[in-house]
Amino acid sequence: MKSELAALITIALEKLVADGALGELPDATPQIDRPRDTSHGDLSCNIAMVLAKRAGMAPRDLATQLIAALPDNSLVDRCDVAGPGFINFFVNQSQQTDIVQTILDAGETYGRSNTGAGQPVQVEFVSANPTGPLHVGHGRGAAIGDSLSRLLEATGWAVQREFYYNDAGQQINNLALSVQARAQGKDPSHKDWPADGYQGGYIEDVAAAYIAGETVQAADREITAKADIDDLDAIRDFAVACLRREQDQDLRAFQVVFDHYFLESSLYGSGAVEHTVNALQTGGHTFEEQDALWLRTTDFGDDKNRVMRKQEGGYTYFVPDVAYHHNKWQRGFKRVINEQGADHHSTITRVRAGLQCLDVGIPEGWPEYVLHQMVTVMRDGAEVKLSKRAGSYVTLRDLIDWVGCDATRYFLVARAPTSQLTFDVDLALARSNENPVYYIQYAHARCASVLRKATETGGQHDVADGLKHLERLNEPETLALLVSLARYPEVVATAAERLEPHDVANYLRELAADFHSFYNAHKVLEGAPETTDARLALVTASRQVLASGLNLLGVSAPDSM
């Protein structure tokens, strides 16, 4: 509707130019907004104010001329000049009620688009190392990354969800040593406890399982414990599998499924790390200094150069990072989005710089990043300090157990990733029924309930008939609901484009509010049959959009609660 109106205004502008009232056409398409105040019409345009100076005309005069030049159409009932020079449009009611027909015709495809045109995009998220259970921060990443993936799918992209983890290196060594120490009966107070050991209780469980010779199965691996306390490699492999399995279970409980797991160790096994080093040296951006090999990332915007190979000969983490992203590029992903905690933001510049140094045609802004800020957990009125080593932190599993998957997902995805998030456990526990997610789900359940009731009454009501009487949908509350339903496609498109899933959460709350107001003001199953049928059509459409939107957030849409 917006684009149709913009086209009409463009025609009016052309007419003014032809008449000599305007010098030239603006380069951009006219901007159409939805006024907050309904007395300002259904849609408005600021074009007169934008062009006033160039036209040498008062904004209101220009607006008046534009209205006069507007071609005849069935879209707009009337338009006014208001305020400093806004043109306010009052849309024909049948245009608004037609959205019900549109939604029912489109079915589940309503709101979807094809801007991605089937192109592949990889979304990497969570990517937790297998050294402990997933915590709340990972949960935020999981909620955002998965919802982002769903949004991209809804806009026509072929999404691959990838999980990358470090299964080698020092942290994993610490893990293995910690498990070994536990297997030897030591605890963190023991004098021989590993210096940077993991102290969480889960280490004991892993040690016990190892000694018992258990077999564990994770999404990307299966392993049976060797039960040999002295075989550190075996302990390491087993511990990784155990924690991978824990994370998989948490993710499954969170309704998140990955398409692909990528192991850092594979970059060494495949020779990709060596190859990357050679390629960077060939590219001419490296130099040796103080017995170390450096990459001149400052050539591409970094604020200091980075060491690739340390004095002692090992590579810094930065090298496999570059190798990994080069691998993504080689896999054909012209578009990659990395969802990470903001504590890793400093890697963005150096990874991009490293990829530029490879000189293999990777665009400068590749890959894209979505960073989420920290999650603070409040409990008993105080902040819970997160400490992985000490093992004292709130896990994703804790949250799911306490408030449920739906509420946890909604809460973690409903706010802008850039804003720090306070998760008040007490509030979620004590008032779980007042969590916003129930408000939206309740609207959906109400839809289902009314439709159920309509069917039970013996079929004298029928949605198809309602579509012939959409003009009955003319009360203020009803029209407000129609407007919200009509907004859905642009909400999805914008959220996907801006990589901001929380737009959908906000929209759904507004849609649910409009539905509840409508529901409360008008009895669907009472009154004239034509009116009831029309309202049933509206309820059917509402239910569908609510379910569709909730699905984008990975939240269920129950028929009853």
- Residue 18 is encoded by which pair of tokens? 């032809």
Q: Which is nearer to RNA, 27 or 303 (CB)?
A: 303
* Contact between 298 and RNA per CB under 7 A: no
Taking the complex as a whole, the smallest distance from the CB of residue 484 to RNA amounts, in Å, to: 13
Q: Least Å distance between CB 228 and RNA?
A: 27
State the binding string over 86-105 for RNA (x if CB under 7 A, else -): x-x-----------------
Residues 520-559 contacting RNA, CB under 7 A:
520-526, 559
Quick check: 516 binds RNA (CB under 7 A)?
yes
Using the rule CB under 7 A, give the single segment among 12-20, 115-123, 265-273, 513-521 that binds RNA.
513-521
Residue 499 binds to RNA (criterion: CB under 7 A): no
Applying the rule CB under 7 A, the residues between 355 and 394 that interact with RNA are 371, 373-374
In the complex, the smallest distance separating the C-beta of residue 217 from RNA, rounded to whole angstroms, is 25
Nearer to RNA, 75 or 82 (CB): 82
- In sequence order, the 6+-apart residues with CB closer than 8 A to the CB of 536 are 450, 451, 454, 461, 462, 463, 466, 524
Binding test (CB under 7 A) with RNA, winner from 10, 92, 266, 316: 316
355: Cβ contacts below 8 Å, ≥ 6 apart: 322, 325, 326, 329, 362, 366
Say how far apart CA 91 and CA 77 lie, in whole Å: 6
Closest distance between RNA and the C-beta of residue 271, in Å? 19
**Apex 488 CA angle, 485 and 489, nearest 5:** 130
Q: Which residues contact 508 (CB under 8 A, 6 or more apart)?
A: 440, 546, 549, 550, 553
DSSP one-letter code for 231: -
State the minimum distance, in angstroms, from the CB of residue 333 to RNA.
22
Smallest distance, Å, CB 439 to RNA?
5
Question: Which residues, at least 6 apart from 248, have a Cβ–Cβ distance to it below 8 Å?
Answer: 218, 219
303 forms part of the interface with RNA (CB under 7 A): yes
Q: Is 300 in the site for RNA (CB under 7 A)?
A: no
The reply on whether position 54 binds RNA by CB under 7 A is no
Nearer to RNA, 188 or 436 (CB): 436
Q: Using CB under 7 A, which of 72, 191, 192, 304 touches RNA?
A: 304
The reply on whether position 493 binds RNA by CB under 7 A is: no
- Out of 127, 129, 356, 484, the only residue in the binding site for RNA (CB under 7 A) is 129
| List of residues 6+ apart from 349 with CB closer than 8 A | 297, 301, 302, 303
Q: Of residues 29, 94, 119, 311, which one binds RNA by CB under 7 A?
A: 311
3-state secondary structure of 553: helix
For residue 26, the minimal CB distance to RNA (Å) is: 12
| CA atoms of 480 and 510, how far apart (whole Å) | 10
> Under the criterion CB under 7 A, does residue 433 sit at the interface with RNA?
yes
Single out the residue of 82, 211, 232, 384 in contact with RNA (rule: CB under 7 A): 82
343 binds RNA (CB under 7 A): yes
- Tokens representing 346 are 């400093």
Q: Is 133 in the site for RNA (CB under 7 A)?
A: no
Tell me how far, at minimum, the Cβ of 425 lies from RNA, in Å.
12
Question: Applying CB under 7 A, which of residues 268, 513, 551, 556 lies at the interface with RNA?
Answer: 513
In a 13 Å sphere around the CA of 168, the CA atoms on its Cβ side amount to 13
Give me the sign of the Cα torsion angle 86, 90, 95, 98. Answer: positive
Look up residue 143 and give its amino acid. A
Residues contacting RNA: total by CB under 7 A: 91
Q: Give the residues across from 421 on adjacent strands.
A: 375
Task: Tell me the C-alpha to C-alpha distance, in Å, between residue 151 and each of 120, 146, 365, 464.
Answer: 14, 9, 21, 31
Q: How far is the CB of 516 from RNA (least distance, A)?
A: 4
How far apart are alpha carbons 254 and 406 in whole angstroms?
A: 8
Site residues for RNA, 34-53, by CB under 7 A, read 35-37, 39-41, 44, 46, 49-50, 52-53
CB of residue 446 to RNA, shortest distance in Å? 5
Residue 369, phi-psi category: left (phi > 0), alpha (psi -120 to 50), beta (remainder): beta
Of 78, 190, 252, 431, the one binding RNA by CB under 7 A: 431
Task: Please identify, among the stretches 10-18, 146-154, 242-250, 409-417, the one whose residues bind RNA according to the rule CB under 7 A.
Answer: 409-417
- By CB under 7 A, tell whether 191 contacts RNA: no
Residues 411 and 422: their CA atoms lie apart, in Å, by 10
Question: What whole-number distance in Å separates Cα of residue 241 and Cα of residue 244?
Answer: 5
**Does residue 83 interact with RNA by CB under 7 A?**
yes
Instruction: Could you list the beta-strand ranges (E) of 249-312.
Output: 260-263, 286-289, 292-295, 306-309
Q: Is 420 in the site for RNA (CB under 7 A)?
A: yes
Question: Could you tell me the CA-to-CA distances from 560 to 65, 405, 422, 556 in Å, in that order?
Answer: 54, 17, 30, 11
Q: In 3D, which of 435, 469, 440 has the Cα closest to residue 543?
A: 440
Q: Which of residues 434-463 bind RNA (CB under 7 A)?
A: 434, 436, 438-439, 442, 445-446, 448-450, 453
- In whole angstroms, the minimum distance from the beta carbon of 415 to RNA comes to 4
Residues contacting 346, CB < 8 A, separation 6+ = none
The binder of RNA chosen from 421, 463, 467, 550 (CB under 7 A) = 421
